Amino acid sequence: MKQYEYLAKAVLREHGIPTPAGRLVRTPDQAYEAVAAIGPAALKAQVLVGGRGKAGGIRFASTPDEARTVAQAMLGMNLKGYTVEQLYAEAKLEIQQEFYISVTTDRNRKVPLVMASLKGGVEIEEVADDDIVRQWVNPRVGVLPYFGRELAARLGLTGVIAKELADLVVKLYQIYRERDAELVEINPLAVVDGHLIAADARLNLDDSALFRHPDVERIDEGSALEQKVHQIGLAYVELDGDIAIMANGAGMAMATVDAIQYFGGKPANFLDAGGGASVEPTAQALDVLVSMNPKVIFINIFGGITRCDDVAKAILQVKATRGIPVPLVVRLVGTNEQEGVRLLEEAGISAYSDMAPAAERAVMLAGEGRA
Amino acid sequence: MAIILTKQSKILVQGITGHQGRFHTRQMLAYGAQVVGGISPGKAGESVEGVPVFDTVAEAVQQTGADASIVFVPAPFAKDAAFEAMENGIRLLVMIPEHVPVQDSIDIVTRAEELGVIVIGPNTFGIISPGEQTKMGIMPNHIYRPGPVGVVARSGTLSYEIAFSLTNGGFGQTTVIGMGGDPVVGQTFISVLHQFKNDPATQAVVMVGEIGGSAEEEAAEYLKSFGKPVVAYLAGRAAPPGKRMGHAGAIIERGRGTLESKEKALTAAGASVVTMPWQVVDALREAMGSH
């Protein structure tokens, strides 16, 4: 779960990492007051997308009046698909140098990874490999000050800045570990008046560990529909096509989306109805697909733990209650297949046993596909 | 023949009295697995499907000589269960739960490396060795047959789809192993491929991967000296960047973890890469025939 910049900065401050003075503002008047209090400031849109500066999401105001005008223009604007509802007014910095630092998890080595560079201020992916210093953390040892001193030395830093960096790495790792972060990143890590200060911050938390952090505000960055399905407890991603898809298991759901595209169709969504979902959640999931008003609905089930008769019952339940007014293509194999297929056939729905012809049929019914 | 899990493995079920634990204990026994005990604190003396229940792993290991354990406890308790198993001599650990915190997984795999424990998962369907008629996992029993193909996958149902198509296509399996859908898991494609390489019964390997991370790219380097035919199918071709596709680990982040990069690396390493799951069997037939 990504955190807004202002929340990430608050966490940095709590752990003793220097950040510029700042205030969250939701109205032009609040922007006026913020700049009156902290002086010339950057007004930064609080949205969860990268590259917001280039997209016009960061503007400057030297006076309170200017802040009000700028905030008026920014609040409500559309930034890469997100509506700007909050701005973070932050004291403008006279930046001498821009560094990069982050702690994240190295999936291959299965340990935390610290990355640092003297060429910060741009996305780390754009920095040449030779300009990035990487140090892996032994989780049994953690990050002690020597780790930071070594990092500073390898970056070629000396004096006060080296000392401050060593201290900062220790704190950054504490945040990563104690807050269950997937990523904690400061970019740019700015040098102002000869000292380090976190000019921007990213903090992504591990969704699976949120139970340990009841105070953290839950942010669902999905679309309205995605949020609705997430609340049912299902994994759902909106795509821009018109063939609605349901499958069981994340890998199968991905493969099903791929199969629709393979035959030239346009998938409307990714929906994992669960590896072992019973009648009710399956019916709820199907209900969501019907509400999307797609051209075709394609259900692809390989019944392992999922029982085909449960899936059939869910389909019949939705058909009997809200109705399914669009063509439905069902592929149903595995556990209790015969019973499932029989239930569907009684209701006039024929099921496929192979994935390929079923996907092809769904694409054809949508009037899409390769000629 | 099989890798990692054999008929000799004596298995415990941690969380045996829960709904999932109970159901899958029955399924594992039905398949022929040697389930020798279950753990459920406070329920010692009970039995599930004829399997004795213990309060602690320590007692269970002492009484049964178990060396493997499958964990069904809820994710917040998974780390505790894993450490209890490892500290008491368990050397093969299968972690079924989804949503285990990544920091917990890091701690588990770090300790496992120190002790020489093989961890499978978390967020996995487990491991099945059809040739040995044994399994530790939640996969449906009927779709597998003994045979010469090793399968290593990141996801469950998709691997069922492919294993079933192998069975129907006349290709039985030595061992089918699910690494798990999380960012940090015990096994890598390389660690599993290495076992398949050393298993004389395994004549070819099917890899089932997906977007996210760079496990497939790392594996590609290893494949160059693998010496057995490999067919790879990867899911997530149509996945948009920045979106988690069900699995915590299945996400294209900041340009990394794309399908193109993985397929390119695997193809360059000599694997036969197919675009759709139903193409695996033909590709395997061709790869095994020409090898």
DSSP B127-184: EEEGGGTEEEESS-GGG--EEEEEEEES-HHHHHHHHHHHHHTT--EEEEEE--SSSS
Give yes or no for A308 touching B (CB within 8 A): no
pLDDT in tens, A193-204: 999 999 999 999
Asked whether the beta carbons of residue A249 and residue B188 sit closer than 8 angstroms, the reply is no
Instruction: List chain A residues with CB under 8 Å of B239.
Output: 237, 254, 257, 270
pLDDT at residue A371 is higher than 60: no
Q: Does B123 touch chain A (CB under 8 A)?
A: no
- What CATH superfamily is the domain A224-365? Succinyl-CoA synthetase domains (3.40.50.261)
What pLDDT was estimated at residue A359?
97
CATH 3.30.470.20 fits A97-212, yes or no: yes
Mean pLDDT of the region A341-356 = 94
Please report which confidence band the pLDDT of residue A34 belongs to, taking 50, 70 and 90 as the band edges: very high
Which 188-217 residues of chain A touch chain B by CB within 8 A?
206-209, 211-212
**Strand A235-238 vs strand A195-198: parallel, antiparallel, or unpaired?**
unpaired
Residue B202 distance to chain A (closest CA, Å) = 25
Of A226, A181, A229, nearest in space to A1 by CA: A181
Domain ranges of chain A: 21-91, 97-212, 224-365
Q: Is B168 part of the contact surface with chain A (CB cutoff 8 Å)?
A: no
Classify residue B240 by its DSSP letter: P
On chain B, the residues whose CB falls within 8 A of the CB of A248 are 157
End-to-end, the C-alpha distance of chain A in Å comes to 42
Q: Which residues contact B5 (CB under 8 A, 6 or more apart)?
A: B68, B92, B127, B128, B129, B132, B134, B135, B136, B175
What is this model's ipTM? 0.91
- Tokens standing for residue B42: 């406070």
Which of A24-38, A230-244, A332-346 has the highest average model confidence (pLDDT)?
A24-38
What confidence tens digit (pLDDT) does each residue in A57-69 have?
999 999 999 999 9
Q: How far apart are CA B21 and CA B152, in angstroms?
A: 24
Contact A254 B158 (CB under 8 A): yes
Q: State residue B217's pLDDT score.
A: 92
Residues A103-125, mean pLDDT to the nearest whole number: 94
B72 touches chain A (CB under 8 A): no
Longest dimension (CA), chain B: 58
Q: Which CATH topology does B126-290 take?
A: Rossmann fold (3.40.50)
Nearest CA in chain B to A138: B110
CA distance A71 to A240: 32
Active site residue A185: yes
Point out which residues pair with A331 in neighbouring strands: A300, A352
Task: Please pick, among B142, B194, B247, B291, the residue that the annotation labels catalytic.
Answer: B247
Which residues on chain B are in Cβ contact (under 8 Å) with A254? 155, 158, 210-211, 235-236, 238-239, 245-246, 250
Residue A323: burial class (beta carbons within 10 Å; 0-12, 13-18, 19+): exposed
B247 is catalytic: yes
Q: What pLDDT digit, counting tens, does each position of A308-344 carry?
A: 999 999 999 999 998 999 999 999 998 889 999 999 9
CA–CA separation, A262 vs A278, rounded Å? 29
Residue B210 to residue A254, Cβ atoms within 8 A? yes
B11-120 classified as CATH 3.20.20.70: no
State the Rg of chain B over Cα.
Answer: 18
Q: What is the pLDDT of residue B290?
A: 67
Chain A interface mutation, best of B95, B103, B118, highest count of A Cβ atoms under 10 Å: B103
Farthest-apart Cα atoms in chain A, separation: 80
pLDDT at residue B249 in the model: 85
User: What average pLDDT does this structure show over A115-140?
Assistant: 94
Interface test with B, best of A305, A336, A368 (most B CBs within 10 A): A305
Q: For the domain covering A21-91, report its CATH number.
A: 3.30.1490.20
**Which residues of chain B does A255 touch, with a Cβ-Cβ cutoff of 8 Å?**
158, 161, 235, 276-277
Domain ranges of chain B: 11-120, 126-290
- Type of residue found at B170: G
Interface of B with A in 243-272 (CB under 8 A): 243-250, 254-256
User: For residue A370, what pLDDT is reported?
Assistant: 65
Query: Tens-of-pLDDT digits for all 291 residues of chain B?
Result: 799 999 999 999 999 999 889 999 999 999 999 999 999 999 999 999 999 999 999 999 999 999 999 999 999 999 999 999 999 999 999 999 999 999 999 999 999 999 999 999 999 999 999 999 999 999 999 999 999 999 999 988 999 999 999 999 999 999 999 999 999 999 999 999 999 999 999 999 999 999 998 899 999 999 999 999 999 999 999 998 888 888 878 888 878 899 999 999 999 999 999 999 999 999 999 999 865
Please write the tens of the pLDDT for every residue from A157-185. 999 999 999 999 999 999 999 999 999 99
More confident residue, B47 or A79: B47
Position A275 confidence tier, pLDDT thresholds 50, 70, 90: low
